[in-house]
Amino acid sequence: MTPTYECFRKLARGLDVDVAELIDTTASKLREGEHAVSRRGDFEYHLVSNTLYEVLFSQMAEKRMVPSFATLKPQGEHRVEAAAAGSGEQFVLVLKGTVRVELEHAEPIILQSGESLYLDSRRAHRFVSATERSARILCVWSGQESAAPIMAPRS
């Protein structure tokens, strides 16, 4: 059994450290006035149910935003996880395909390529490909705890 990101987030909160420090011991902090560059292919893979996340800047600790790309596989290919809530806010931009956004206590929202959504991550939600083809999205999570996707740590 692999622990979820939520388990790591709770442990990090209890230890008063950034989640990146639990997963990657080479994590570094961006100092005031500095910047970081992510080159093509410069990401860490995390597979969760029907979604393959490519987390950018995973080596950086204490981020206030967590940017990533995600490929949503068609629902028929994998078991789809239940909607989950986090903390902070989330921005999603559909780069390719059609995405169904399922929000707690609301009708699903269909987003096409080029369309986006900004939401309060405390509301349970999930993103799934709305067609028989994979969809690709850009996700940016923000908040005090850098509420990133629920994922397994890299091996």
**Domain extent listing, the chain:** 5-142
Residue pLDDT, tens place only, 76-109: 655 556 666 777 899 999 999 999 999 888 999 9
Lowest mean pLDDT among 17-21, 41-45, 93-97, 136-140: 17-21
Residue pLDDT, tens place only, 29-81: 777 888 888 888 888 887 777 788 888 888 777 788 889 999 998 876 555 56
Q: Phi, psi (5° rounding) for residue 98? A: -125, 130
**What's the longest Cα–Cα distance across the chain?**
46
pLDDT band with cut points at 50, 70 and 90 for residue 20 = low
CATH for 5-142 (3.40.50.720, 3.40.50.970, 2.60.40.420, 2.60.120.10) = 2.60.120.10
The C-alpha atoms of residue 155 and residue 147 are separated, in whole angstroms, by 21
pTM of the shown model: 0.71
